[in-house]
Structure 1
Amino acid sequence: MKKKVLITCAVVLGVLLAVYLGFAFYFSSHYLFNTKINSVKYAGKTAKEALEKNTALSRDYLLTITDRKGNSFSLKGPDFSYEYVSNGDEEQILKSQNAFTWPVSLFKAQNYTLKGSSKYDDAALAEKLKALDIFSDDYIENPEDAHIEIKDGKYDVIEEKKGCNPIYDSILAEVKDALDNELPKLSLNDDCYEAPKITKESDTIKNEKEALDKYTASTVTYKIEGADEKLDSAKILDMLSISDDGSVSIDDAKVTKYVQQLASKYNTFGRKRSFKTSSGDTIEIGGGDYGWVVSKKNEKAQLLSDLEGGKPVEREPVYEQTALYRGADDIGNTYIEIDYTKQHMWYYKDGALQMESDFVSGNLARQNGSVDGVYKIVYKQRNATLVGEGYSSPVSYFMPFAYNIGIHDASWRDTFGGTIYKTSGSHGCINVPPAFAEQLFNAVDKGTPVVAYYREAVTLTNNAAKMSNAYSYVAPDAAQ
């Protein structure tokens, strides 16, 4: 039994060895199992057969090109005389394989790439390549740079668009490489297309965002009593512009417009007001020079400085002129009220009547009517001499409130009030009894509002009315 077993084993081993050596001898001139060259199966083929097959395949060669859009285009080898040219790779691949390792090739793939080349008509290839729709004007889409868009009080980074504007030389190089390697397919990479110059990750976009964020952090809250005015981030964004080189700047015209709107909204200079009189009724009076005036030039300069600061700011507007009170009623409850029609005046302090008196105002018949509007006591002067055309009048107490018009004592008069002013009035000043003038002079402060009005329509054409911005001023030509 032992001999039989030994003989059987010897026979089996001999057969296996013969098979092994037989295959080894075979694969010394043939490709191993699972051999692929350029993705084509060549197991059991000789180098000569591989060369013949490669040459045969080249006659019907077709290169399929897939572009960025996912569309496919074909180049046919015969159209440009494509022919495979071997440099001996088939033989070299066979020599590189170890025939005695053929059992391993049963389980392990052998993949190779030919380093051969090809020959073709360059001019014909160029003509066929350029004829592909990839290069058609209707098909091409130019790339678009990433950019920042400001809209509705916020900004967004608009991502770049790659487009599909082909670079001919790059595609030609890729195609030639595919032809040399007999590749059946070619997918065009990003290097084959013009790229956007600016992407959302570019420093240009980063710098723009930093600049925008800095400006929009420079909010300005205006401290205005009775109002809520804020230049917030959304409004600031609308004042910014981005140039082609990516620099962010403040649009000067838009800042000017904003300051103008600010002034128009909060200036009370010369604005028509509703005023409740001492007689109990309410009148509408405008004109004069009393009120708040935003200095547009200085406010603009300060605002530009604030925006460059990059920090929130709380402040008052830069005023050219101020009044005693802020808000809709900037006259307050300390003021002098002058009713030209009734020829009577009142002085209130903190809402309480302090004194009142009749007076004589400017002569309407001689076009010297006193100015109406809302004014303020400009200064107080003792022992002044009032000089005008054809007169010189010394007074003890002078309180001007409009141009050269003021309240003063008139010792030369015995009677005040009534309708004296219509035909025998002053040159424009408010004549009051000496005792009242002294009392008012000692009580009233510089800057006290003066509300002067007529109850009937009058036409003031004199220079004092013009210079004082009188409510009832009409240019002489227009009056005629």
Structure 2
Amino acid sequence: MSRLDKRPKMKKTVRFILIGLVVVLIAVIGGYTYRSMHYSSHFLPDTFINGTRVSDLTANQANELLHDRYDAQEFTVEQNGEEWKTFKKADLGLDTDFSDELESMISQQNNWRWGLAFLSSANQNLELNTAAFDEQTLNQQTEELDQEIAALNEDRTKTEDAKIDQDEDGFTIEPEKQGDELDTKQASEAFKANILDGQNELELTRYTKQPQTTSEDEDLQNELEQLNEIAQTNGTYKINGEDVEIPTEEIMDWVVYENDEVTLDQDKVQGYVEKLGEDYNTSENETQFESTEQDEVDVDPGTLSWTINTEQETEGLSEDLLKGEDFERTPIVQGSAEPSEPLVDDTYVEVDLKNQHMWYYQDGEVTLDTDIVSGKPDTKTPTGVFYVWDKERDATLTGEDYESPVDFWLPIDWTGVGIHDADWQPTFGGDRWEEGGSHGCINTPPGEMEELFDNIEVGTPVVVI
């Protein structure tokens, strides 16, 4: 056969081959296209979501598979490595319906790349948000857990901060105490955070409550220093010639530390000042007096007296204490006497109604003594600690039914009672007062009265007993 005869036959063969190839290509393209359409609603080969294989699954099929997986997930709370309480995450509000997110994943994948995904040895790993919780449910479960943890603390040792304490010498720091009490707030917050972070457990002992303030705390040390500066101050009152120490324990009870500074509880300071007045006010308390003939007697208050001004003294005492330095002070008073000195010292007049006698002491020595006539039974001379508040010559003493001129007049109270000469008295001392007594004044022989008037000073105490 010639070459010319073979050529048509070869052309025919080539044509069949080409037609066959076209048919195969069309079939392949058609098949790939068909398969690509399949992957427009299915996950590509070798696709994994959060470690779960979802190849060739629709969004609904994958959702069912993942729902079963995550619905079974649990969260365990442990104590010292042992299980204390276990929750199903679904009961904590975990949302296990991932439909929308899965649909979005499928729509974002290139379904035409299924062939490459099939031939590739690498897996396609996708991440799904598995920490979507219903906020109300999770919060409710967290609150309940908080209460259960608080109940655990009832049998645990409390953790205590370092704090200021006081003893008889002042303030000290009581060191912090580390207990095994759980910090319920921290534990509850960690519980919620771990769940939202996708974790599966919580160890409670990691949240043992720690002291917030230790003995080395700078602020606490500063507070201690300031408190002791005031509390260890030595305060002394000069009252009636005596030293009255303010007890350290009293001062410590008054000291308050607030707003980074030391102050005093004014109610307590005032209470102390009021008690001081109750004990020492000479306007309210009897005065012990060593008499010439009656030994020691208690004498009623009179015009020579003083009363502590509570408000002003509270303020003054507080100012001295807050200086943080030892001090002596005399109370601020109202009255006619100086509170720091004895009410009756060694210069005074003593009038003894029982013995109808009067003595004038100067610097502890008797410089004059004389019988007297005091007030009659229905106008008795008042007893008390008085003082000469004026000196007058040639005075006229008047009352409802009398008018008596005298040469020497020494008033001692505010009602008209005083010491004066009485030349009308025929005799002095004894029982004369019962029948010929005065309207309350102390009648004195003229000669002795002149001597007394010349030597006595205004302000001299007069003790009538």
The TM-score range, normalised by the shorter chain, is 0.5 to 0.7
Q: Hey, which of these two has a bigger chunk of helix by percent?
A: 2
Q: 1:278 aligns with which of 292, 309, 318?
A: 292
Q: Give me the whole-angstrom Cα distance separating, in 2, the residues matched to 1:290 and 1:265.
A: 17
1:434 match: 446
Q: Is the 8 A contact 2:331 2:339 kept in 1?
A: no
Whether 1:343 aligns to 2:363 is no
Return the offset for 1:168: 6.2
Q: Is the 8 A contact 1:146 1:158 kept in 2?
A: yes
Q: 1:356 aligns with which of 365, 369, 381?
A: 369
Partner letter of residue 310 of structure 2? K
Higher Cα Rg, which structure: 2
Q: 2:249 aligns with which of 218, 221, 234?
A: 234
2:185 match: 165
Match of 1:174, SS? helix
Q: Is the 8 A contact 1:363 1:427 kept in 2?
A: yes
2:379 match: 368
Q: Is the 8 A contact 2:306 2:338 kept in 1?
A: no
TM-score, scaled relative to structure 2: 0.61
Whether 1:223 aligns to 2:238 is yes
What pairs up with 1:65-80 in 2 under 5 angstroms? 65-66=77-78, 72-76=84-88
Whether 1:136 aligns to 2:150 is no
Match of 1:416, SS? coil
Partner letter of residue 221 of structure 1? T
2:268 match: 254
1:100 match: none
Q: Is the 8 A contact 1:167 1:194 kept in 2?
A: no
Q: Is the 8 A contact 1:135 1:166 kept in 2?
A: no
Match of 1:165, SS? helix
What pairs up with 1:76-155 in 2 under 5 angstroms? 76=88, 119=130, 122-123=133-134, 126=137, 130=141, 134-136=145-147, 139=150
1:109 match: none
Q: Give me the whole-angstrom Cα distance separating, in 2, the residues matched to 1:63 and 1:423.
A: 109
Q: 2:432 aligns with which of 420, 425, 429?
A: 420
Q: Is the 8 A contact 2:263 2:322 kept in 1?
A: no
Q: Give me the whole-angstrom Cα distance separating, in 1, the residues matched to 2:451 and 2:139.
A: 108
Partner letter of residue 401 of structure 2? G
Closer, same or farther: CA 324–444 of 1 in aligned 2, 3 Å: farther
Whether 1:383 aligns to 2:410 is no
Q: Give me the whole-angstrom Cα distance separating, in 2, the residues matched to 1:127 and 1:421.
A: 100
Q: 2:76 aligns with which of 60, 64, 69?
A: 64
CA RMSD in angstroms comes to: 5.4
List gaps (5 residues or longer) in structure 2: 1-46, 54-64, 106-120
Deviations 1:281-328, CA, capped at 9 Å, x for gaps: 44443332335543333312312322443443322222434758968x
Whether 1:263 aligns to 2:277 is yes
1:43 match: none
Deviations 1:55-101, CA, capped at 9 Å, x for gaps: 999677554334799974334568768799999xxxxxx99xxxxxx
Partner letter of residue 363 of structure 2? D
Q: Is the 8 A contact 2:77 2:84 kept in 1?
A: yes
Q: 1:411 aligns with which of 403, 409, 423?
A: 423
Q: Give me the whole-angstrom Cα distance separating, in 2, the residues matched to 1:276 and 1:169.
A: 79
TM-score, scaled relative to structure 1: 0.60
Q: Give me the whole-angstrom Cα distance separating, in 2, the residues matched to 1:342 and 1:221.
A: 40
Return the offset for 1:347: 1.7
Closer, same or farther: CA 399–64 of 1 in aligned 2, 3 Å: same
Deviations 1:118-144, CA, capped at 9 Å, x for gaps: 637745995698189623367367999
Aligned-pair identity in percent equals 28
